[in-house]
Structure 1
């Protein structure tokens, strides 16, 4: 089915193709359409990989060895032997990175498997061999922006350099994972497919796996139907499978969030035939960050109907660890990990929560994430909001729940109203409400099981 392919352009050209009609630079990038529709092709088996210790770490102060081992252990506990988080990758360049790898390997975990990342450089590859790592990512810049401007090479020179490192990897029984950097600005049929064709040829000759990671380095990928290359996520994955002859299980998508599209593009890659999505914890990474691992776990669960044996409570624990250990500030409204992601303030919403939390909660966040729904109290909360706060904060169930008509609620509401009549502009804090509950509803005070995140 030749949806896209006519004739391959010679992979070696003298004049680079910068797609200036799509990327004018002095203006916003353009979305161009060819109106060619690509069929969906969700693989039977999909999974997630992690680059927190490589791409993610570049956006924060360098992790210590102890911190890397702790985060690796968290990834293992979150995966919980499900195999959904299959791999994580490390730098190799410093003694600290190598020590972290040794300590993580010594834990003996199957998932996530430890892999490495290197430039297409012989000296870098010697580091991989010295650590006896079974798989390594290899940087292969594939846009003319990178080949001509960064590497100062021709396409032919770049391709020869990349293929040479892959040959070394295969000869040393190391699985190469080819990181096609900046693929959303690359000449897909002029360079990407010729390169991938050569890689698959080497794979067949050696009878060994060669993985392909499609890297949306600047987050320029677009998921809409009918978008033209080089920005179409659908056509990149379709093209790698059908013209590059890369099996789904050898394909991986790595996307950045520069245009708010990291999650959407990653899910699109899954839907159109890519088995693996590369992520970071909390989406950390340079500029706007990477695709968040926790987001893709939730997407996985929605697509597949379950998350196998994963322990999603560790999403919450990991977020707490980042805030505590790295003084990392998670925007409070961030889905699944922000302090306010399942907090309601509106009085009418609080009244709904009081009747049944399913009305305004996205799913059972307490059961799945260890994050009970919380109602914040302000000038708009009313009796229903205060009653809902008490029920959620103290985790009251069944007949123990407080009704908005309970007369003990009124003096608390009177106190709240007086605060705002006197000019208060901030939320009522949990600590203030605790004192009021202790005074007016002492029966529930000792059932307290407060949620660490939700303090205002």
Structure 2
């Protein structure tokens, strides 16, 4: 049996065994983990109760794929739209560049024009990077534009290696390493996108491959970055879950066994099982410095991790926004709706029209007394979106009073309470609407019209 060294871990001062070196397991038949992924059944989540330690990096950050993965599920953005959104991301990320990078396609003239125009801005953050397939032809595009870093597709599950690429594991590894070496030869930092990592053989392919990538990094004295791609959204964050579905197990394997530094490690999640946000947060907690996101989660199939969600996850984990300007999120949402024509679902957290709107009368009564009771945080401060109520047959006097105060921005001594005669008359009108059979919510436009008429009736000239 192999005798491994016993060393001191400088982070926790505990003795630990030297991590084993995993060798490539070149198999004749693909390992598709049919015990976990029986295609004619719902995928299974299994446990072995092996727990890995938290390993929260000193610095965490966000990267963006709006212009790459985000364009694969919608009509392509125009060059002007890409440049405008890039400027928004620069402002949102703040002076510390918490939104660290944006990745771009290079295949169309429109995309290349957008890259050139974004580079002309001269912003340090987000850094402009690209995405290519593992081919020399694609790499020529990167060299032509002169980018400092590019993502490279390196599919890592046997589903892709055997069924899509028609290769063996060794053939795939050799092919990938050759492309990465060529990238390093020209001084471009490679970012290896390990596609479908949550259905891959972690110990038999992924760790041996990443170990070789780290050896190349030392040989060239250049970073070789790793993006762990949960392409199908199979990742889970449950303690003790087995790999390849365990997010923390994957991150631990890459850092502890393959030797990937946290600052070179990134998580790219999809939302097929509603876990994109929590899996991205888990990746941060267990050692990945970066999480890859797209605006509003727009991306392949069910989408990517929403960038705006991770902005607020960052603030909750770090206790600070570190200079990020979250009010830009509202500006981006308005730009999508008005200029791009994308309709954001009304209840989408942080950006939907109704994300902080209540319809229940008892909630409205609480908001009227103290908005902290039913608002997640000061949404006026962080998103320029004060809490509001929607008026229906359940809103009551308190709901109507809150709507008036919010819509007309009546603060402090100008605010109306629920006993004000104007509030009572508006409620009479609302009650009559529903008594006559109405079933829909009262619109803001209708309420503005009614309030104007009641003000005139009561002789109220100003607030």
- On whether the aligned pair clears a TM of 0.5, the verdict is yes
Matched, 1:300 2:314: yes
Partner of 1:206: 220
Alignment partners' CA distance in 2, 1:89 and 1:74: 15
SS at match of 1:141: coil
Contact preservation (8 Å) 1:214, 1:252? yes
TM-score (norm 1): 0.95
Question: CA offsets, 1:162-202, max 9 Å, x none?
Answer: 10111111111110000000000000000001100100000
Matched, 1:379 2:428: no
Report the more deviating stretch, 22-31 or 433-442.
433-442
Matched, 1:391 2:410: no
Contact preservation (8 Å) 1:434, 1:445? no
Alignment match of 1:88 (pick from 91, 95, 102): 102
Partner of 1:153: 167
SS at match of 2:154: strand
Contact preservation (8 Å) 1:354, 1:384? yes
SS at match of 1:362: coil
Question: CA offsets, 1:8-56, max 9 Å, x none?
Answer: 3643111110000000010010001010111111111000000000000
Alignment match of 1:255 (pick from 269, 273, 290): 269
Report the more deviating stretch, 431-440 or 103-112.
431-440
The Cα shift of 1:274 comes to 0.5
Matched, 1:36 2:50: yes
Contact preservation (8 Å) 2:235, 2:246? yes
Matched, 1:440 2:454: yes
Contact preservation (8 Å) 1:437, 1:445? no
Partner of 1:133: 147
Matched, 1:360 2:360: no
Question: CA offsets, 1:268-306, max 9 Å, x none?
Answer: 000001100000001000110000000000000000111
Name segments (4+ residues, structure 1) moved above 2 Å: 1-11, 439-447
Partner of 2:286: 272
SS at match of 1:87: strand
Gaps of 5+ in 1: 448-456
RMSD across aligned positions (CA): 1.6
Q: 1:254 to 1:42 in 2, by over 3 A?
A: same
Alignment match of 1:323 (pick from 333, 337, 349): 337
Contact preservation (8 Å) 1:186, 1:192? yes
Give the total of aligned pairs.
Answer: 447
Partner of 1:50: 64
Partner of 1:242: 256
Contact preservation (8 Å) 1:394, 1:444? no
Partner of 1:99: 113
TM-score (norm 2): 0.94
